[in-house]
Amino acid sequence: MGSKAMIFDLDGVIVSTDEYHYLAWKEIADRENIYFDRKINEQLRGVSRMESLEILLRKAEKAYTDEEKLAMATDKNGIYRDLLNRLTPADILPGVNDLLAELKRRGIRTAIGSSSKNTPVILEKIGMKDAFDAVADGNDIKNSKPDPEVFLVAAKKLGELPENCVVVEDAYAGIEAAKRAGMKAVGVGFASTCPQADYTAENLAKADIGKMLSL
């Protein structure tokens, strides 16, 4: 029995906001004299804002109070939100629009499952506010990926059983979350070499829709 719903991660699958996350965290790290590079940034994929900060602070030489941490996360989000103003529909990643059109044609329902609290503004900026049947994001959950919560909320919003859902992710944490939710997992982009994924492709333009739906 094939899948009846497809749940898409946002950052790194629908749109490359990952570079903006990097630039914003880099500004915070430089300001605090904390070493931060693109390799460390890869560990922040799919992880919540506060957990991302904790990973960044592993290289810090001093301890920060909870108030200071909150201020840093708020500052990072301000920088990130400014960068998001640059987004347009041209930033939608290759293959996304064609895949969504084909899923609609086949009667397969779709949802977003993202850790980001900025999901509504991102969808608005890229003109995809109404492109999905449901949206589950960082505002709906207590635990971020690799916890399965966001995908279970997405399935619930769609009224679909987890075993009928296939998740598309660019983060190892997201692939783990999908598997823990009892769903099938497709790895693209950074997760296109993830051994835990049920199917992988370099990007959605190169993904086989028939294969993804028959997992």
Return all residues near 2 (Cβ < 8 A) that are at least 6 apart. 213, 214, 215
Catalytic residue among 11, 18, 147, 170: 11
Under the binding rule (CB under 6 A), the answer on residue 148 touching ligand B16 is: no
**Of Mg ion, ligand B16, none, which one sits near residue 114, judging by CB under 5 to 8 A according to partner kind?**
ligand B16
Q: Which residues pair with 8 in a beta bridge?
A: 112, 168
Contact 29, 56 (CB under 8 A): yes
Under the binding rule (CB under 5 A), the answer on residue 176 touching Mg ion is: no
> Is 37 a catalytic site residue?
no
Return all residues near 64 (Cβ < 8 A) that are at least 6 apart. 57, 72
Which member of 9, 147, 149, 176 binds ligand B16 (CB under 6 A)?
Answer: 9
**Of Mg ion, ligand B16, none, which one sits near residue 49, judging by CB under 5 to 8 A according to partner kind?**
ligand B16
Contact 74, 117 (CB under 8 A): no
Which member of 170, 173, 187, 191 binds Mg ion (CB under 5 A)?
Answer: 170
Token pair in block for residue 153? 């909320």
Under the binding rule (CB under 5 A), the answer on residue 133 touching Mg ion is: no
**Of Mg ion, ligand B16, none, which one sits near residue 48, judging by CB under 5 to 8 A according to partner kind?**
ligand B16
Contact 17, 11 (CB under 8 A): yes
Under the binding rule (CB under 5 A), the answer on residue 137 touching Mg ion is: no
Under the binding rule (CB under 6 A), the answer on residue 153 touching ligand B16 is: no
> Is 147 a catalytic site residue?
no
